[in-house]
Amino acid sequence: MRYAKQLFLAAALLASQTVLAAQGDIIARVRGIVVAPDASTTGTLSSLGTTVNTTVVPEVDFTYMLTNSLGAELILGTTRHSLTTDLGGIGKVSLLPPTLTLQWHFNDAGRIRPYVGAGVNYTLFYHNTLAVGDEGVSITNHSFGPALQAGVDVAFSQNWFVNFDVKKLWIKTDATLAGSDIGTLKINPWIIGVGVGRRF
């Protein structure tokens, strides 16, 4: 019984000392993410029934804690998507959407810390192989849009934790075929991630 009590007290002491992040800390996370487009289109792209596939890719991010509760997070990752129409596949395009959010972390002295964030994403479209027949589809290579996120960090040691995160990005590009406008593609993905993190 004495050993059980000592073990309980040691666990309680560890829990009381575990603080996921404080002002000046840097948090690094690695996640596996599902990028699920909530796609919509206009013009010819819409009449063709254009859709964008879901992908699973790795992601890294870094958060700098401005205060014990306020953090700035930079999210880095890239993904490649296939586009399909009612007539079949029309190729692939890659997206690089670095995203910066300002986060509010709750429960700043606890092992479980939910957070919410809002910010902006800049998306670079690259490695475009979209084509209809032998004619390539040109797209706008740059996109700016808002970003929202919510998640939670759960500590399992003094500096390490698991992370669950959901983000919504607004991303779009305009497309042309043989110099003619064929509509706008809004990808607007939901990004659902699970990973591990460490504070420094």
Domain housing 114: 2-199
Q: What confidence score (pLDDT) does residue 19 get?
A: 56
CATH number of the domain that residue 130 is part of = 2.40.160.20
What is the number of domains present in the chain?
Answer: 1
Q: Which amino acid is at 181?
A: D
Give the pLDDT of the chain (200 residues) as one tens digit per residue.
555 454 444 444 444 445 567 899 999 999 999 999 999 999 999 998 999 999 999 999 999 999 999 999 999 999 999 999 998 999 999 999 999 999 999 988 789 999 999 999 999 999 999 998 889 999 999 999 999 999 999 999 989 999 999 999 999 999 999 889 999 999 999 999 999 999 99
Which residue, 77, 80, 82, is CA-closest to 58? 77
Q: Which amino acid is at 105?
A: H
Whole-number pLDDT of residue 1: 55
Residue 120: per-residue pLDDT: 98
Reading the block at residue 169, the tokens are 């990005």
Token code pair at residue 93: 């395009």
